[in-house]
């Protein structure tokens, strides 16, 4: 008899299953029965196929994750408007700058998702994570106060990510 339960065998990575199923439904733009069935089948079988390549799925606290999703979506909308005004306006209003955002942890998922959020928010791009220095290099299309931008990134995105993955900032690993 296998040491894994029925659920663990059929859904080895439940988060991946949900993401795949939702992605299919968004790509299909349809909630018809056939698309729902295909989304479920893809959500079951693709994670089973890639099971050997995914070492572990981290434990995620869903309430702060859902809250962070809405914060990021809101920031993307607001940033799009801000960037449009900057790009369409006089160039003297642009103050591009490079700056480094110090990281609180060495946790791979936290730092990777933080870099992704920075890049997806219009007006900023993360150029790379420097694990040795413990920071992310960021380029901003326009900023007056880099320290304020750094604190906003840390408070709006990094702190919630640390809570989502339940990371001990001193260790970089889940508590």
Q: What is the mean pLDDT of the chain?
A: 89
Provide the pLDDT for residue 11: 77
User: Average pLDDT, stretch 147-168?
Assistant: 95
Neighbouring CB atoms inside 10 A of 33's CB total 8
Indicate the pLDDT class of residue 1, thresholds 50, 70 and 90. very low
Core vs surface per residue 106-124: b (16+ CB within 10 A) or e: ebeebbebbbebbeebbbb
Please, are residues 110 and 65 in contact by the beta-carbon 8 Å criterion?
no
User: Average pLDDT, stretch 23-47?
Assistant: 92
Provide the pLDDT for residue 168: 83
Provide the pLDDT for residue 57: 63
Sign of CA dihedral 160, 163, 165, 170: positive
Read off φ and ψ for residue 127, nearest 5 degrees: -90, -15
Spatial distance between the Cα atoms of 17 and 46, rounded to a whole number of angstroms: 8
- E strands of the chain, at which residues? 97-102, 124-130, 135-140
Q: Which of 2-16, 103-117, 157-171 has the lowest mean pLDDT?
A: 2-16
Q: Name the pTM for this structure.
A: 0.73
Quick: pLDDT tens for 95-152: 999 999 999 999 988 999 999 999 999 999 988 999 899 999 999 999 999 999 999 9
Read off φ and ψ for residue 99, nearest 5 degrees: -155, 165
């Amino acid at each position: 008899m296998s040491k894994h339960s029925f659920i663990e065998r059929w859904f080895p990575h439940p988060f991946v299953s949900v993401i795949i199923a939702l992605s299919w439904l968004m790509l299909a733009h349809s909630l018809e029965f056939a698309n729902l069935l295909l989304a479920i089948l893809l959500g079951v079988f693709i994670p089973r196929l890639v099971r050997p390549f995914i070492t572990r799925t981290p434990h995620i606290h869903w309430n702060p994750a859902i809250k962070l999703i809405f914060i990021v979506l809101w920031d993307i909308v607001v940033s799009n408007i801000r960037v449009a005004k900057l790009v369409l306006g006089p160039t003297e209003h642009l103050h591009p700058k490079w700056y480094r955002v110090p990281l609180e942890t060495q946790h791979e998922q936290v730092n990777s998702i933080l870099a992704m959020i920075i890049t997806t928010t219009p007006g900023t791009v993360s150029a790379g994570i420097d694990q040795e220095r413990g920071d992310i290099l960021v380029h901003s299309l326009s900023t007056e106060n880099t320290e304020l931008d750094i604190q906003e990134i840390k408070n709006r995105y990094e702190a919630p990510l640390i809570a989502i993955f339940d990371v001990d900032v001193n260790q970089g690993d889940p508590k």
